[in-house]
Structure 1
Amino acid sequence: MADTTEAGEVFGGETGEVSTGPAGLGNRGKLLVLVAAVLVLACVAGVSVWRAADRADRKNQVQAGGPAVRSGTVSLAASGPHRIVFRSMAWGPHRDELTTVPANAPNGPRTASGVKCLRFYAAGGTGICLQAERGAVTDSYRAIVLDAGLHEVRHVDLAGIPTRARVSPSGRMVAWTVFVGGDSYAGTDFSTRTSILDARTGELQSTLEDYAVDRDGKRVRAADVNFWGVTFADDRHFYATMATGGHTYLIHGDVTTKTAVTLRTNVECPSLSPDGTRIAFKKRVAGASPDAPWRLYVLDLATMREHPVAEHRNVDDQAVWSDDSTLVYSLPGDYGSDLYTVPADGSGAPRLLTASALAPAWLG
């Protein structure tokens, strides 16, 4: 008897028979095996997808596993209960939005505003929000002045990547710094532009490079001058960092006269205490890594004496004073940035204030 496979395997032929000879299954059997294989593969694929989705879901639960975040009303009003407004870094639909929590419950449920900012600060009922506008090829940036209800008052197009923002205590003056070349203060190959805006009149000082700066009785005239990190004393006077010739300086500036004077060296990202007596700043310390060179210090403006705080990690931030005795600053976290707090007098120890947060402002 000839092997039926030699004549070709037929399913549904004239005889209606399926070959089952020693060379293998007939057509009907092979089709059944094929169907079964497809079903098995489909089941395996389904299980794989389910497991991947389950892992992703569990990962998202971990990532979003901090305080609950819900939409609501966020106010920058200078009155009312003490509260914190910051950029939320938690994964989820409210990531990068301005959110608020009570100051006495920083890990409590967050109320999200719907307004997204890369950098933010607020005081006196005015907010400054440095935003990114995502383009198909490149991004653009702008500074938006916000009223107490987070409504846009005016905006200014920015020349680079946002990095610092501040508002004067009254809410009238706002300032910001952007990188226009490079993207880190750690090296020397960067360029910044710092601007000051009168939120009441709309008058813009587009760059502090137009200021006349006095250093040791002589006018600073250098092509490599950079400014960053404004902190306001009032609507006229401010402190900031100036860099030139490989050195950084603390400067005291006057918005009206467009002049400034250097006060001391090795001061970056100053932050004036609420009582106006001290400045928190990041200082380059000898022996630290070039990629992580800074420690957090406090300078007494009356004596010009400085001391380190109890935070020994690298702090690349413009610290915020939550009150006259406490500093708040950001450090890298699992989702971008976490906020820490430390006593300003050098005592105590740093502690985590709240995770997944950046650019805080204390209001009320």
Structure 2
Amino acid sequence: MSNRVKWLVVAAISVVAIGATVVVGLFAWQQYRLRQDAPSAADTTASRDWDSGDRVVFRNTAPGQGYGLVASVPLSDPSAARAVTDTACDRVDAADDEFSCLRTERGIVPSYTATLYANDEKPVADWPLAGIPSRTRISPDASLIATTAFVSGHTYAAVGFSTETLLHTREGESLGNLETFTLIIDGAPAAPVDRNFWGVTFVDDTTFYATAQTGGITYLVRGDLDKRTLTAIAEGVECPSLSPDGTRIAFKRVTSGSGPAVHWTPAIMDLSTGQFELLPESRNVDDQVEWLDDGTILYGLPRENTPGDTDVWALAIDGKSKPRLFIEHAWSPSVVRQ
């Protein structure tokens, strides 16, 4: 076979391969649009009143129209029709007048952003993320926003994952990466190269808790924004969430397995005593929980046999109650009280 014939064969194969790729891509896009344009699997209403009254704000995961958009339901009636906005987020946290939105911008090369929106859905500030969105929290007075993204990996069960956790003001001013803070373990500064930080929960505008991991050990750290320190106060605490009364931390704790087979169970830690109690949830909870009130936590779980769909569950912290379905087709809940 001559070189000319060989090149013609290669060219023909390439054209066929490219054509097949285009066909597959068009088919996938068509199926995606059909799913997005189908009627929503959840009862929805217009978005104009989505930010009124005591409410739970969340990411809508009901298949069909409105999938992936920020939505809300009344706190007093979480089974009511959800008010759906026009803003798409992968992760959301809300305050009275604004909400923090982490988003994947899909394209040939995906990009990742964090945006603080006013409730009219107009951007207040935005900044880039280093990778896949993971966690976000707004401080009680709405002056600070924390974001966590995966620099490498896409789950906390992955081996060798890396995270970037940033603090910003409401105006978008960067207050730095937590890796630039001084980490204090057993009373002494530590600067391990394998350190990772994630899962911020604010006490006020200068103090917060977060997760730190190094040497295979996960710590609960107390952050001081003025001193730029992170002080380890307990081990085995991941994705902390401070209770409304400020006395307890809800978190996820490894109870079996490791790596991709790790199993997390929700737990409660008393900050005054350091004692913790595992809660009666047998399923794997890989989430930063939200407090519904001082006696109940909320968290998201994948819906069985329905990729991309999730539900929000409620669990009393009395150590006896069973989990109950709180909001169907929802993710990343945030409780807002006016």
Matches of 1:362 and 1:242, distance apart in 2: 25
Query: What per-residue deviation string (whole Å, max 9, x for no partner) do you get for residues 90-109 of structure 1?
Result: 11121111111111221211
Q: Check whether the contact 1:130–1:144 (CA below 8 A) recurs between aligned residues.
A: yes
Shift in alpha-carbon separation, 1:345–1:288, aligned structure 2, 3 A: farther
In the alignment, the residues of structure 2 paired with residue 270 and residue 103 of structure 1 have an alpha-carbon distance, to the nearest angstrom, of 23
Amino acid at match of 1:195: L
Residue in 1 that maps onto 2:43: 68
Report what 1:320 is aligned to.
290
- Does the CA-based 8 Å contact 2:157-2:259 persist in structure 1? no
Residues 199/129 of structure 1: CA separation in 2 closer, same or farther (3 Å cut): same
Contact 1:74/1:150 (8 A) holds in 2: no
One-letter amino acid matched to 2:161 = F
2:74 counterpart of 1:102 = yes
- Spell out, residue by residue over 1:232-256, the C-alpha distance to the aligned partner (whole angstroms, 9 max, x if none): 0011100000000011000000112
**Alignment check: 8 A CA contact 2:159 2:259 kept:** no
Q: Partner residue of 1:126?
A: 98
What whole-Å deviation, never above 9, does each CA across 1:99-137 have from its counterpart, x for those lacking one? Answer: 1111122121111110000000012423110112121x1
**Whose Rg is larger?**
1
Identical aligned residues as a percent? 39
C-alpha contact (below 8 Å) 2:162/2:196 kept by paired residues: yes
Q: 1:344: which partner in 2?
A: 317
State how 1:71-220 maps to structure 2 within 5 Å: 71-76=46-51, 81-135=53-107, 137-200=108-171, 202-220=172-190
Q: Match of 1:20?
A: none
- CA separation in 2, counterparts of 1:144 and 1:65? 26
Q: How many angstroms does 1:74 deviate by?
A: 4.9
Q: Provide the alpha-carbon RMSD of the alignment.
A: 2.1
Superposition TM-score, scaled by structure 2 size: 0.84
What's the CA shift string for 1:13-35, capped at 9, x where partnerless?
A: xxxxxxxxxxxxxxxxxxxxxxx
1:72, distance to aligned residue in structure 2 (A): 1.9
Q: CA deviation at 1:75?
A: 5.0
Cα distance change, pair 315–64 in 1 and its aligned pair in 2 (3 A): farther
Query: Which of these residues, 205, 209, 216, is aligned with residue 235 of structure 1?
Result: 205
Change (3 A) 1:182 1:304: same
**Which runs of 5 or more residues in structure 1 are unaligned?**
1-55
Query: Which 10-residue stretch deviates more, 171-180 or 98-107?
Result: 98-107
SS in 1 for 2:179: helix
Pair 132,71 (structure 1): closer, same or farther in 2 beyond 3 Å: farther
- Do 1:74 and 1:112's aligned partners in 2 also have CA atoms closer than 8 Å? no
Displacement after TM superposition at 1:203 (Å):
2.4
What is the total number of aligned residue pairs between the two structures? Answer: 301
CA contact (8 A) 1:66 1:355 kept: no
AA aligned opposite 2:82: R
Name structure 2 gaps, 5 residues minimum. Answer: 1-30
Letter in 2 for 1:341: A
Residue pair 1:124, 1:169 contacting (<8 A) in 2 also: no
Give the SS at the match of 1:285: strand
1:363 aligns with 2:332: no
Q: Is the 8 A contact 1:74 1:100 kept in 2?
A: no
Tell me: CA distance 1:361–1:218, structure 2 relative to 1, closer, same or farther (3 Å): same
Q: Does 1:285 align with 2:255?
A: yes
C-alpha deviation, 1:205, in angstroms: 2.7
Residue pair 1:74, 1:113 contacting (<8 A) in 2 also: no
Do structure 1's residue 273 and structure 2's residue 266 form an aligned pair? no
Q: Taking structure 1 as reference, are residues 158 and 218 closer, same or farther at Cα in structure 2, changes over 3 Å only? A: same
Q: Assess if the C-alpha contact under 8 Å between 2:199 and 2:210 holds in 1.
A: yes
Q: TM-score, normalised by structure 1?
A: 0.78
- How far is the alpha carbon of 1:290 from its aligned partner? 4.7
Equivalent residues of 1:328, 1:340 under 8 A apart = yes
Q: Kindly provide the amino acid, as one letter, of the partner of residue 228 in structure 1.
A: W
> Counterparts of 1:287 and 1:199 in 2: how far apart (Å)?
39
Question: Which segment is superposed worse, 346-355 or 228-237?
Answer: 346-355
